Amino acid sequence: MPPYVVKDKCDGCKGKEEPLCEQICIGDLMTLDAVTGKAYCRSLRDCWDCMSCTKICPKGAIEQRIPYQLGYHGAKLIPMIGPDTITWTCVDINGKVERFTYRTRNKK
Amino acid sequence: MGNEIKTGLYLCTCEGEIGRVIDIDSLAEEASGWSGITAVHRDAFLCSADGIRKIREDIERLGLDRVMIAACSPFFKVREFSDLGINRYLVERVNIREQCSWVHRDDTDGATRKARTMLRVFLEKLKNSRPLEPVKRPILKTALVIGGGIAGINATLDAAGADCEVFLVERKPFLGGKVAELHNYFPRMCPPSCGLELMFSELGKNRNIHVQTLSEIGTVTGSPGNFEILIKTSPRHINERCTLCGRCLEVCQKNAVIYPEGFSYPGIPAIHRALCEEGCRRCKEICPAGAIDLDEKERLNNIKAGAIVLSTGWDPFDPTPIKEFGYRRLKNVFTNIEFEKISKEKKISFDEPKRTAFIQCVGSRDERYLPYCSDVCCMVSIKQALFLKEVNRENEVYIFHNDIRTPGEYEELYQKARKSGIIFIKGIPSELRQDGNKKIDFSVFDTVAGERLDITADMVILAVGMRPSNGNIALKDKIGIALNKNDFIESHLQCYPQDTQREGIFSAGSCRAPMDVSRSIESAGTAAVKALKFFRGKVEISADYPVVNTLKCDVCKRCVEECPFKAYYFDDKGFPKPEISKCRSCGVCMGSCPLSAISLGDLSIEQLSEMIDALDKSYLGNDEPIILSFLCKNDAYRAVDDAGIKGIKYPPNLFSIMVPCSGAVNGAIVSKAISTGIDGVLVAGCPDEECHYVHGSMLAKTRLADISDKLKEMYLEPERVRFIEISRDDAEKFTRSVEDYAKELRKIGRNPLRV
Amino acid sequence: MNKALPKNINEVEEVRIETDLLIIGGGNSGCFVAIEAKEKNPDIDVTIMEKAHIDRSGALASGMDAINTYIGEGETPETLVAWSRSQVGGGPLREDLALSNARVLNECVERLEKWGVPFIRDEKGRYKRRGRFDISIRGEQLKPIIAEKTKSYNPRILNRVVATNFLKDGDRVIGATGFGVRDGRFYIIKAKATVIATGGSAGLYRSSTSDGTTSHHQMWMCPFNVGTGYSMGIRAGAEFTLMEQRWCAARVKDFTGPVDTISVGYKARMINSKGELILQERYAHLGGDKAPRYIRANAPMDEWREGRGPTFIDTRHLSPEQVKELKMDYLNERPTYVLFLAARGQDPAVEPLEIYGSDPYIVGGHTASGYWVDIDRMTTLPGLFAAGECAGGMPNKFVGGCAAEGVLAARGVLEYISGVENEKFDEGQIDAEKQRVFSPLFRGLGMETRYNIPAGQDPRWQYDGVTPEEMEERLQRLMDEYAGGVGQFFRCNEKQLNYAIKHIGMMKKQVDKLFAIDLHTLMLVHDVIDRLDVSEVVVMHLRERRETRWPGWQTRTDYPDIDPDLDCFINSRKNQKTGEIEMIKRPYEQILPGDRKEAQSPIPLSAEKA
């Protein structure tokens, strides 16, 4: 399942050696384009859609998509991460919006 | 720690200032049942001696480990509440006067509800507070002065004169800098030798002073109070045994021997090996004292210093790019610096009277080159013009200028120049021409007389400006010193001209701004005093510096990039860590961390997160929007306090949390606020150029813009997060914005994520 | 960003590390090994070699919505094991391992909550159960939390280092080698003990959702768990068990995501196109809804095969709140499932969810495939321990059980290393391995240009060889068609298996044609080499079990019934001299009395066994 990097938003984690998406990707798929200084997925077919990159991106620059072979165009799933919460917004192909918020870590 | 804290809650009615609006009795009663609260006390005058004594007694008697003071702004009565017999980080001031009772006085119910929420939220903060102690580090009472010009020499002498050990490092073979090259200096027209010679002899006498010439700084490590500087010294090839017999000079055919002037320091020549003829060892062979070592190598040594004074000086502006003045192309066109040498060495004969034209502001006050006034050029030209009149009264001298600037007593010289027949014309020549002969023709529009003049001169002197020396750029890289847009060393020109943006590092002379000899000497004295004052203390590092949670950190280095003071380094495990003596606890790193792994000592991500949990999003009922604002401590918070002091009202929908800088607000915290139902998040920081932490406001804006974008994608209103620029005096602007924002949010409707 | 690539073997930098305990794989069980070892002995030097980054590595990368094994009120370790036994049709399974695991299970699960993972509790404050041994969690941060705990003990963590082979001294394992996917270095780790915890093996078979363009990895198990741990053991001559017991499951069709969340958690039942309740109507004799897992996996595929597809799980009874809760569960485990429903515009309360068989996986945390280990979790190679999905013999471990296996392996290690010294390496072995690992990177260098290649492209592309993607797809197609993949409704016969063995052999002969253009593709090269080794053993096991014991997991059309003589473990080991895979049969030992196919509570055994 391919993650798409929104170029205008990605800042390549300020051009350091490894942006966070590259660090976190379990498949070694996200990497930095040496020319543009922005991240991209080197092999869209190989993504397992764990969304780790999407969740960790500090700029909210990564969007996860369902391959068209399996699901139709236009659906969105956007996580918003707090220190111990997550809020998901899901928009289906008919424009229906659903939201989910819950704690991801216990209170200390 | 959790809920086991024992907090004493002290509610002040402030002689009715608070009590008239907020129902303190009901709050006290309610709060006494909250977990974590051990004692509740009401007082009409908490900051009185009795009030303070009550708190101190309770701490002892009840074993309180937290104190919450719900009264006036934390910026009031600071002294009164500073010594309660408990670590100050375990005391929380809840501002229910300036930011509650005074501003919501028409809405007693709303004010009470808000005050209750404030108590709840700040109690939650206290639950995760830790006692902190400032870190004290001794300061090494040694100074390093970089640059041995007139400023550096004077800073050295002043500091060493006060019994402080000083290392003076100079890149060139001899001390004295630009001043040593001058013919004389104004206003008294003494030759530089007179002053310098005296200074050099003092340098030589004082055992506290260590001079290293032909030396440049390499790496600078350590921290204020304890710097360690690597010094690279190029070989001089001639040692102290030299008797200045001059034979080396005679045999050298490549001008490689740099010979000292009469009053140079040190009084030993140097050999510029790069100029030597290959394989030539004639000087060594002829030297009767055996003082020459042509194979001497570069040396490295380390200097430890508590403070650093930068006095890297200036370079003259090179007028070659200004084509119309024909510098280097036309004969008899010199710069004012060249003219110093000419006049000093009498290279030109003035037996025949000459017509000389000075052109002022060459490079200076010109957006293309030096946008600033170079400060000294008017005086220099007057000085040189007077010299011309002195050597031959028949010399005809013109000074073409934009304005003549001779502040203070310098006016006297200007008057003298006028009396001596020097002609001042307001207007700058357009183009210099030279046809065959050595004379220079040009025309100029005299803007005062309103007429065009055609002049033929024997000589033209270009009064070139001062630009910072290349040494400044090197300092920026090596010490991390900030430079201003003209590459002079950045400082708070008005209040702290001698302080750089790094603690323990001071600047003197023209590396900071163009200045003449006497001002350079004066600034050197100030810098020395600043360093001496710095030596008297200990470096005390505020205890609230940030800590990186290495369990969460993935070393993305964003904190390292975004730290305004370049305070971050990598520890032996490779994790970023702030060098706390460089750190100013602005929290920009905390705001920057994508993994929420950085927390300030007195305001952690966990605390903020739990404060948001504790904030009852319906404290004004289900229909009223709640605005959570993060207020910059330096300006916005005080501006909001001002609203209270001035009695400007705003609705109780605003709930504020103070942060050291708007740049300290982490996106995850804003996300959490929105996720848990806050209707609007308002971050108030200084305007970009006023940000106390260089780019904190700018970063905050960018982060909020990102969240705004995300909200849009989430089909939420991007208006739910907002940055607002608030200066110290913007109380009205702020209250108006809050009112407008509350209205806007009411129109948008409730945050759908509010449960 | 990758460093400049080495141009020849001499340019490959070496990193040598000496450690007490080397853990290969920093997933759930690997982390538990490190935590337990450090807790019990703070002085022990622990090194974790991790292919990705331990914050989000392994099968837990995207989170988890449930702990599938927890012994709640009214249950005992014995009832858990009896249930587990019934879920695999009565075994065979290693009841000794299962019982020892069950006895430390709860403490491991409870640790997760203490570290910060939110567990959902019922109105009485107990863990909310969604099945008999299933409890619900909000595990979006599960892996980061485990990783943070691990890091707090300060082990040496080598992220982005792919393990390649064990280092051996005779039979004994004395460490392992790996290569850095980021730094291109060759890692040589000397260890007193080594724990292999690389997870299972995915991507041996083609998934029905696999397309070459953008959905190649649309599968249930983490596709980056390729089976390196198994293949290293296979190559080193360790004994493996039950590699024919493939985990095939009913999954959401076209997404190949988990389905238990719905079927167990929301009591949604399986129906076919006629609306018949499949399990109740056709498998009542095997327990209906509670039928063994392989039956539940096989059932929908049999319906399709018989022309009664498509098949569904019927979610139409769910209330809007339940649908929301259901989605929340998925967001914690496979968030894109919610996106998938959105991309279909589907509301489960209106339309039932279509299900289909998954591709088969070798995952010893689910079925009982894996290393043959002793009660201390030591494999047949001294010094080598197995944890999590690598350890065989014991099915139905899942997250909690794999964590418990980590704890048990750590305890075994601590006992073992007390009397062990680090051995000297055989440098010849190291050089040969370095050559094997890195040579695919150099194949395209120094060649004449054979093809028309765009200017600026890496010259390595010039090599006239095989890309890892090509070989992977060839293998997956072969396994699907000839070794009982979902495309063949999980069924196979002797002839097909022989064909598969022959063609795997042909591919193995061509691994020296594989080439890599960068360190990432070098990893892909080794992924496919490892998959080949695992596939070969899987097929050998499938051939050896000439019966049909777990239809779906293992279906032989030429031997459709159970053979009582095969009520045993089928094991294998690669003969280190001949290179042949040798098959071994080991007897099944029943410890818990009673009918092995029944999940009812047997009498607790607890006291006397301890």
Q: How many CA atoms lie within 13 A of B533 on its CB side?
A: 11
CATH number at residue B478: 3.50.50.60
Q: Which two tokens stand for residue B661?
A: 């800088």
Q: Which of B226, B208, B294, B291 is nearest to B256 (CA)?
A: B294
CB A61 within 8 A of CB A10: yes
CATH number at residue B673: 3.40.50
User: Could you tell me the domains of chain C?
Assistant: 13-61+92-100+144-246+361-428 (3.50.50.60), 250-357 (3.90.700.10), 437-447+456-562 (1.20.58.100)
> What is the rounded average pLDDT for all residues in chain C?
92
Res B122: pLDDT: 97
Res A15: pLDDT: 67
Catalytic residue check, A48: yes
- List strand residue ranges (DSSP E) for B4-124, in order: 7-12, 37-43, 66-71, 91-95
Sign of the Cα torsion C34, C35, C41, C43 reads positive
Tokens 């194949």 sit at which residue?
C443
Using CB atoms, which residue from A20, A59, A82 is nearest to B675?
Answer: A82
Res B189: pLDDT: 81
Q: List the subunits that have 3+ CB pairs under 8 angstroms with C.
A: A, B
3-state DSSP call for residue C9? helix
Which residues, at least 6 apart from C559, have a Cβ–Cβ distance to it below 8 Å? C546, C547, C548
- What span, in angstroms and rounded, lies between the C-alpha atoms of C453 and C451? 6
> In chain A, whose CA is at the least distance from the CA of B594?
A58
Contacts of B752 in chain A (CB under 8 A): 99
Tokens 């090994």 sit at which residue?
C33
**Cis? peptide before C454, omega within 30° of 0:** no
- What span, in angstroms and rounded, lies between the C-alpha atoms of B660 and B637? 10
What is the tens place of the pLDDT at every residue in A32-82?
988 888 999 999 999 999 999 999 999 999 999 898 989 999 999 999 999
Are residue B528 and residue B452 in the same domain, yes or no?
no
Are residue B173 and residue B239 in the same domain, yes or no?
no
Are residue B368 and residue B482 in the same domain, yes or no?
no
Res C525: pLDDT: 97
Res B537: pLDDT: 78
Q: Which residue type does B412 have?
A: E
Q: How confident is the model at residue A16 (pLDDT cuts 50, 70, 90)?
A: low
Residue B686 within a domain: yes
Q: Which two tokens stand for residue C36?
A: 């337990």
3-state DSSP call for residue B712? helix
Residue B559 within a domain: no
DSSP tag of C402? H
Reported residue count of chain C is: 610
Instruction: Give the domain-ending residue among B467, B485, B518.
Output: B467
User: Are C343 and A100 in contact (CB < 8 Å)?
Assistant: no
Q: How far is C116 from chain B, CA to nearest CA, in Å?
A: 13
Share of chain C above pLDDT 70, in %: 95
Which residues, at least 6 apart from B560, have a Cβ–Cβ distance to it below 8 Å? B568, B570, B576
Are residue B618 and residue B744 in the same domain, yes or no?
yes
User: Are A90 and C113 in contact (CB < 8 Å)?
Assistant: no
- List strand residue ranges (DSSP E) for C334-404, in order: 353-357, 370-371, 384-386
Instruction: Give the domain-ending residue among B425, B448, B467.
Output: B467
- List strand residue ranges (DSSP E) for B165-288, in order: 165-169, 209-212, 215-223, 226-233, 257-258, 270-271
Backbone conformation region of residue B592, classed left if phi is above 0, alpha if psi is from -120 to 50, else beta: alpha
Which of B 17-76 lie inside 8 A of A, CB atoms? none
Does B755 contact C at CB distance below 8 Å? no
Which of A 50-89 lie inside 8 A of C, CB atoms? 50-52, 64-77, 79, 86, 88
- What span, in angstroms and rounded, lies between the C-alpha atoms of B150 and B173? 15
- What span, in angstroms and rounded, lies between the C-alpha atoms of B269 and B258? 5
| C-alpha distances out from residue B740 to B314, B719, C93, Å | 52, 12, 70
| C-alpha distances out from residue B159 to B194, B302, B650, C517, Å | 22, 20, 55, 63
Pairing of strands B66-71, B91-95: parallel
Q: Which of C434, C453, C454, C450 is nearest to C442 (CA)?
A: C434
> What is the rounded average pLDDT for all residues in chain A?
92
Domain span at B746: 603-755
User: Are B554 and C53 in contact (CB < 8 Å)?
Assistant: yes
Res B195: pLDDT: 83
Q: What is the largest CA-CA distance in chain B?
A: 102
- List strand residue ranges (DSSP E) for B514-639, in order: 539-541, 546-548, 568-570, 576-578, 598-600, 627-632
Are residue B754 and residue B644 in the same domain, yes or no?
yes
- What span, in angstroms and rounded, lies between the C-alpha atoms of C178 and C24? 10
Residue B660 within a domain: yes
Structural domain count of chain B: 5
Does A18 contact B at CB distance below 8 Å? yes
Using CB atoms, which residue from B609, B666, B710 is nearest to A78?
Answer: B710
Tokens 């050197």 sit at which residue?
B524
Residue B564 within a domain: no
Res C610: pLDDT: 35
Are residue B731 and residue B623 in the same domain, yes or no?
yes
- What span, in angstroms and rounded, lies between the C-alpha atoms of B27 and B42? 10
DSSP B651-673: -TTEEEEEES-GGG--HHHHHHH
Are residue B459 and residue B508 in the same domain, yes or no?
no
Q: How many CA atoms lie within 13 A of B502 on its CB side?
A: 29
Which residues, at least 6 apart from A103, have a Cβ–Cβ distance to it below 8 Å? A84, A85, C118, C138
Does B669 contact A at CB distance below 8 Å? yes
CB A39 within 8 A of CB A56: no
Average pLDDT across each block of 10 residues of chain B; the chain has 755 residues. List them in order: 79 95 96 95 94 96 96 94 93 96 95 97 95 88 94 95 94 90 82 85 92 92 87 93 90 89 85 90 92 93 94 94 92 92 83 91 93 94 93 93 92 93 94 87 92 93 93 80 86 76 88 92 93 84 92 92 90 92 91 96 96 96 95 94 94 96 97 97 92 91 95 96 95 95 96 91
- List strand residue ranges (DSSP E) for C181-327, in order: 186-196, 240-241, 250-252, 269-271, 311-314
Which residues, at least 6 apart from C571, have a Cβ–Cβ distance to it below 8 Å? C239, C240, C241, C242, C372, C583, C584, C585, C586
Residue B584 within a domain: no
CB B110 within 8 A of CB B620: yes
Q: What is the largest CA-CA distance in chain A?
A: 44
How large is the C-alpha radius of gyration of chain A?
Answer: 15
Average pLDDT across each block of 10 residues of chain C; the chain has 610 residues. List them in order: 75 96 97 98 97 93 93 92 93 95 96 96 90 92 97 97 96 96 96 97 92 84 96 98 95 86 81 93 87 90 94 94 93 94 95 94 96 98 97 96 97 93 84 96 70 65 85 97 96 98 97 93 97 98 97 96 96 96 97 86 45
- List strand residue ranges (DSSP E) for C55-134, in order: 64-67
Are residue B320 and residue B304 in the same domain, yes or no?
no
Res C371: pLDDT: 98
Residue B572 within a domain: no
Are residue B189 and residue B46 in the same domain, yes or no?
no
Are residue B122 and residue B146 in the same domain, yes or no?
no
Instruction: Give the domain-ending residue among B110, B132, B154.
Output: B132
Q: In 10 A of CB B549, how many CB atoms?
A: 18
Res B350: pLDDT: 79
Angle between helices C427-442 and C519-544 (to 10 degrees): 110
What is the tens place of the pLDDT at every residue in B369-393?
999 999 999 999 999 999 999 989 9
Contacts of C152 in chain B (CB under 8 A): 551
Are residue B445 and residue B339 in the same domain, yes or no?
yes
Which residues, at least 6 apart from C498, have a Cβ–Cβ distance to it below 8 Å? C543
Residue B548 within a domain: no
User: Are B551 and C148 in contact (CB < 8 Å)?
Assistant: yes
- What span, in angstroms and rounded, lies between the C-alpha atoms of B108 and B21? 5
> In chain B, whose CA is at the least distance from the CA of C56?
B554
Q: How far is CA B180 from the centre of its chain?
A: 30
Pairing of strands B598-600, B576-578: unpaired
Angle between helices C77-87 and C95-115 (to 10 degrees): 110
Residue B551 within a domain: no
User: Are C1 and A31 in contact (CB < 8 Å)?
Assistant: yes
User: Are A58 and B713 in contact (CB < 8 Å)?
Assistant: no
User: Are C151 and B551 in contact (CB < 8 Å)?
Assistant: yes
Are residue B157 and residue B303 in the same domain, yes or no?
yes
Q: In 10 A of CB B282, how many CB atoms?
A: 15
Contacts of B552 in chain C (CB under 8 A): 144, 148
CATH number at residue B128: 3.40.1400
Does B584 contact A at CB distance below 8 Å? no
Angle between helices B150-161 and B517-536 (to 10 degrees): 40
- Active-site residue identified among A48, A87, A98, A105: A48
User: Are A75 and C342 in contact (CB < 8 Å)?
Assistant: yes
Pairing of strands B721-725, B165-169: unpaired
